[in-house]
Amino acid sequence: MKKNMLVVLFIFSIISGVVHASGTDEVVITGSRMIDDYDIMPAVTVKRQADFLVQNVRLINDSRSPELRKEEIIGTIDNLLKSSKRMKGIELSYGEGFLMPVNLNDDSLQLIEDRRRIDTSHVDIFVKVALDDKKSAKTQIASLRKFIAKTKLVSRTEIEVLGDIGLSIVHPEQDRYEILKKIVAENNKIKNIVGGNCETTVNGLEGRVQWDRSDITTLTMYIGYGTELKCG
């Protein structure tokens, strides 16, 4: 009975994690987040291509009145949105960690007053291009940078590129069950290799899917599990 209860609790934990993740569909991975220590990675991982190449940009305006600054920045974003509709795969998003499509009617897209510069406002957004298997990463990065460089700026608005090209993934929890299947297969192999009266116990499977950037366009997806081998 106790074992059955544990199984039910485990399944509930997994389902709860998936439901929670559905509210945050797209996650951004900054250009600097790269795997540099494989010792911290579990043995079982899944490689997948990211969904978008992402560049964080800041739109800055120093017109005298707050209303004018907002009008000119919003006008620039509107120009970007119109340009993006003419280029396949280009999209605009905003957010911290979790991305949402830019909507000029959304009150959550707020301008920030610069504390270091008088009469200056800015807003950070992400310009994205959907990764295309038929094109090289170098070509797509060049297209993304060219799109940004050609931004039609309104009046005193300026654009500043922030950091390196990053990545984003949509629905990262969709990889959960592929990872779990690989973990089960790995532990079955361990039992077969060791043989005898040995059993493996796996913990941490209720954890959320995690990821690290492994190259320009690829992510390594994993769940931070641990395996304990008991032989009697």
Give the residue extent of every domain in the chain.
2-24+40-48+172-231, 49-170
pTM for this model (two decimals): 0.81
CA distance 11 to 135: 40
Average pLDDT over every residue of 169-198: 91
- For residue 226, the surrounding DSSP H or E stretch is strand 226-231
Q: At what angle do helices 176-194 and 2-21 cross, to 10 degrees?
A: 140
Q: Is the pLDDT of residue 217 over 80?
A: yes
pLDDT digits (tens, 9 = 90+) for 113-165: 877 778 899 999 999 999 999 999 999 999 999 999 999 999 999 999 999 99
Phi then psi for residue 124, to 5 deg, are -100, 135
CATH superfamily of 49-170: Multidrug efflux transporter AcrB pore domain (3.30.70.1440)
* Bridge partner list, 218: 49
Q: What is the mean pLDDT of the chain?
A: 85
